[in-house]
Amino acid sequence: MGRPSMAAVRREQILDAVTRCVGEYGLEGTTLERVAEASGFSRGHIRHYLGNREEMLDQFQQRLTTHYVERMRQIASDTDPGKRGVALVQFLFGEEWGPGEDNAAINALTWAAARDETVRGYLRESYLAMEGTLAEALRADYPHAPAAECAAVAYTALCLAFAHSTLLELSYPADRQRSVTTVTARLLDQLASFEPAAR
């Protein structure tokens, strides 16, 4: 497999800087000047690789919101049938989902979504895709559970994961991590409790 092109590497480096800037300054405060300073590239280089400010922010949003969708789909694909729901829940409450640059940027996007339909659309589409991936895995793992129950557990797990991730940034005690994973495990146990339909 060949090495990625330098253009692709530069784009990722600049998008990483955009993520840091959005986390620090919000979407509205992320300017080409701030991204240039954070990335070490000139404004001209940023325009060359990502376009103007609007195009740069659009690519940032696409990358950030699709990353977690693709990651969940990859986990589901790489995990043995019957274990996919558990693997996805572990991801939602694991380190990848915890505090960090992405989380700060996602918080900034969530705040901006209240006023910007485009941002709201990006977030809504990605969250629905994540919820759908988990619900599909749960339906396959627990074939006797009603589809509506699987969808409800998927939505609830996603809500818990987002809230938990946000609260972790407030330095909540470590035992809260155990609490939320225990509650989520009970939701999966509830799906497992459905009996096969009588013939």
pLDDT in tens, 68-115: 999 999 999 999 999 999 999 999 988 888 777 888 899 899 999 999
pLDDT in tens, 122-175: 899 999 999 999 999 999 999 999 999 999 999 999 999 988 888 888 887 777
Global pTM value: 0.86
Q: What is the pLDDT of residue 169?
A: 80
Ramachandran angles phi, psi of 191, nearest 5° = -65, -40
Residue 199 inside a domain? The answer is: no
pLDDT at 34 over 80: yes
Of 28 and 178, the structure prediction assigns the larger pLDDT to 28
> How many domains, the chain?
1
End-to-end Cα separation, the chain, in angstroms: 53
Dist CA 43 CA 35 (whole Å)? 8
Q: What is the pLDDT of residue 4?
A: 65
Residue 139 inside a domain? The answer is: yes
Dist CA 186 CA 139 (whole Å)? 16
pLDDT at 42 over 60: yes
Residue 1 inside a domain? The answer is: no
Q: What is the pLDDT of residue 198?
A: 47
Domain hosting residue 25, numbered range: 6-192
Q: What is the pLDDT of residue 170?
A: 82
Interhelix angle 84-92/117-141, rounded to 10 degrees, is 140
Report the CATH number at residue 21. Answer: 1.10.357.10
Q: What is the pLDDT of residue 2?
A: 61
Q: What is the pLDDT of residue 181?
A: 85
- Here the tokens at position 148 are 């509506």
